[in-house]
Amino acid sequence: MEMDIDATSEVQEGGEENKGKQIVVVLVGAPGSGKSTFCENIMRSSSRSWARVCQDTINNGKSGTKQQCISSAATALKEGKSVFIDRCNLDSEQRSDFVKFGSPQIEVHSVVLDLPAQLCISRSVKRTGHEGNLQGGKAAAVVNRMLQKKELPKLSEGFSRITFCQNESDVQTILDTYGKLGPSDTLPNGCFGQKNSDAKVQQGIMKFFKKLEVPSDVASNTSDIQSAVPSHVIEKKDQSVTHEEVKVRNEQVANVPTLAFPSISTADFQFNHEKASDIIVETIEEFMDKLGNARLVLVDLGHGSKILSLVKTKAVQRNIDSKRFFTFVGDITRLHSDGGLHCNVIANAANWRLKPGGGGVNAAIFKAAGPALEAATKERAKSLLPGNAVVVPLPSNSPLYNGEGITHVIHVLGPNMNPHRPNYLDNDYTKGCKILHDTYTSLFEGFLSVVQAQARFPKRSSESIRTEPLVSKDKTEGVSGSYFPDSDGNIKEDDHNEFEKSKKFRGSEGKVSSHGNHPREKEENRKINGAAMNKAWGSWAQALYDTAMHPEKHKDVVLETSDDVVVINDVYPKAKKHLLVLARCKGLDQLSDVCTEHLQLLKTMHAVGLKWAEKFFNEDASLVFRLGYHSDPSMRQLHLHVISQDFDSKHLKNKKHWNSFNTAFFRDSVDVIEEVTDQGKATLRDDDSLMSMELRCHRCRSAHPNIPRLKSHITNCRAPFPANLQQNNRLVAPTR
């Protein structure tokens, strides 16, 4: 366990730019973890002026509200004091308002008292005279319940420093650290207190590779150094391993899927390097279990790159597998030819227009890839918003494809802290950190979609990389988190759905068809061994999945939850009543994933939908409902729409909205259940033409030129519903 023992030395390392800053310390810990004792001990010994904000006593000695705590903390900061936030703060939502205090003059730290549950419960039960009256027998149940919902803080929430304490010794160490802080002292940023027994050894070894022109796993294990690196390199600490040695080493992993990516937003967009490096390492750590044998490589041109150095050090501290993530110095467009590094996917720090131009990585990649990349990009997306990514299969006539073995370019756009560039965030690092985390998440999800496609369509030739890409031209859908802004720069609701519908699959056996849509390839992509191919779900598309898997974190929106389903209101309802019944089954992303084993779940979802329709009938007997699924949804996690047929909603704005519920694209739940019962799967209708069909009234089937005219008509239309909807219980109405 590596802890910051000597506060004085750390203050010196912290640099002059943070001198004299106030600190907000957000304590995180269950009742009984010792938060109040921690504050009192430091306030007794410290020469710094501290204020303790405790919700148990904020209201004239009695329990108060979170808002009172925020106000009290703001007052103390105005008075020039540093502040302890003495609350449990066990999830990010509880911490978020306090993180907002961060500014150029105020640092926000977190001290996590992550002590054993048994110890916290024992203390809570035994204590008397507790400020919040949480003591005795009732304390055990409360502590246990709170610990089950614990969500440890991350730097991406906006903290500049987080210290974890897992035992009493750790607590004493951090007490000493903060207790020694004088009025002008500061502490270094980062995460401290992880259980990395080898961290110091690895850090020492990595000093041999300051220029870091080799994968960091060369230096990750002392027993492997002599065999992996020539002895003269170890003897000369300032000498980097040559590219020739890298080539030899990388030939052994030539077929391993590899993503090379630059640091996003830290150059022209001027994002803070410390915060950016924290987010890079955090996001990589989140994806480690998903990567398999695939590799991530952070690339920069300069030997003295600050971001490479920071990320390298923090990755070692986090004990990240250096065989699957390392840093590399080189030109991202010539990693194979100049450096011997095999990468089949590269990331581009793009502009929002997804056009060549500017400088840096964007200009270099578009230039190296030639006109083919710009043309292929246009087929995939028109523009990009910060925090998102779009995967572009690289045509085989691109020099990057032929010369470097690059099969895909993933365009990403991060947050901007440069006032002279678009979407300036005005130094709002709370928002900026979230966007940057979303950016890397979208990037890595896009790469994983390529990796998954490689597994389904393995390379069919062992020819040289200069005539055959590392991964044969894959048939992934290749999109992660793309949006289209409207003419005002705002995101149009569900425009990403239209984008999903228009995706074209490219290539066949490493070749690109002239139309980018080979019939046999299209069918292969639609069905693989009888199952639909997985989509690349962007970060924006994960909301339903997160709600279904963790309803306890979304209590403000969840209407009902059980072992099988979660019920919520549609965020953009297309009618007076519009619910979603979410399946709580991992791996069931959409209707194409459904098979016979899911039949009972489909029936349960249908029954829950009927129950809610009945509830609405009690409120308004004029309502009529349809229950069904979209053939090709834009949001991950199988969900049943329960939608009233009035379509009276301000969110119903365009032809796509209407046709997604009033064409064959919408599959009635009763029909789906019948088809899965009889055939083992549902029939899907995801033809692009369905979304562009003329607007027709769902009752009388009359045609209308636009949505306003259609809405005006359906408000007064009393024609009976078409016969096909009145059959097989497709319509659900009150029993008369």
Tell me the average pLDDT across 220-228: 34
Q: What is the C-alpha separation between 390 and 540, in angstroms, rounded? A: 13
Q: What is the C-alpha separation between 60 and 63, in angstroms, rounded? A: 8
Look up 550 and say whether it is catalytic: no
- Contacts of 79 by beta carbon, 8 Å cutoff, 6+ apart: 51
Domain spanning 7-192: which CATH class is it, in words? alpha beta
Annotated active-site residue in 109, 437, 639, 657: 639
Question: What are the respective helix, strand and coil percentages of the chain, to the nearest 5?
Answer: 40, 15, 45
Q: What is the C-alpha separation between 398 and 595, in angstroms, rounded? A: 41
Q: How far is CA 712 from CA 575, 648, 707, in A?
A: 14, 10, 8
Is the predicted pLDDT of residue 641 greater than 80, yes or no? yes
Beta strands in 352-437 (DSSP E): 388-393, 408-413
Per-residue pLDDT, 538: 61
Nearest to 534 by CA among 438, 446, 470: 446
> Do 108 and 96 touch, CB atoms closer than 8 A?
no
pLDDT digit string, tens, across residues 205-223: 333 333 334 443 333 333 3
Boundaries of every domain in the chain: 7-192, 245-526, 552-732
Nearest to 496 by CA among 511, 487, 483: 483
**CB count, 10 Å around CB of 199?**
17
Phi, psi of 304 (to 5 degrees): -100, 25
Domain spanning 552-732: which CATH class is it, in words? alpha beta
Per-residue pLDDT, 500: 34
Tell me the average pLDDT across 406-429: 92
Of the chain, the percentage scoring pLDDT greater than 70 comes to 74
Model pTM score: 0.39
Q: What is the C-alpha separation between 160 and 324, in angstroms, rounded? A: 27
Q: What is the C-alpha separation between 408 and 111, in angstroms, rounded? A: 42
The whole-chain average pLDDT of the chain stands at 78
Local confidence band at 198 (pLDDT 50, 70, 90 cut-offs):
very low
3-state secondary structure string, 125-136? HHCCCCCCCCCC
Local confidence band at 408 (pLDDT 50, 70, 90 cut-offs):
very high
Q: What is the C-alpha separation between 148 and 154, in angstroms, rounded? A: 18
- Contacts of 421 by beta carbon, 8 Å cutoff, 6+ apart: 268, 269
pLDDT digit string, tens, across residues 532-547: 334 556 666 788 998 9
Task: State whether the Cα torsion 99-104-105-110 is positive or negative.
Answer: positive
Six-digit token pair at 589?
A: 């992303």
> Do 349 and 360 touch, CB atoms closer than 8 A?
yes
Is the predicted pLDDT of residue 241 greater than 50, yes or no? no
Is the predicted pLDDT of residue 1 greater than 70, yes or no? no
Residue burial 502-519, b: 16+ Cβ < 10 Å; e: rest: ebbbbbbebebbeebebe
Q: What is the C-alpha separation between 383 and 43, in angstroms, rounded? A: 53
Q: How far is CA 671 from CA 484, 627, 628, 683, in A?
A: 33, 10, 9, 9
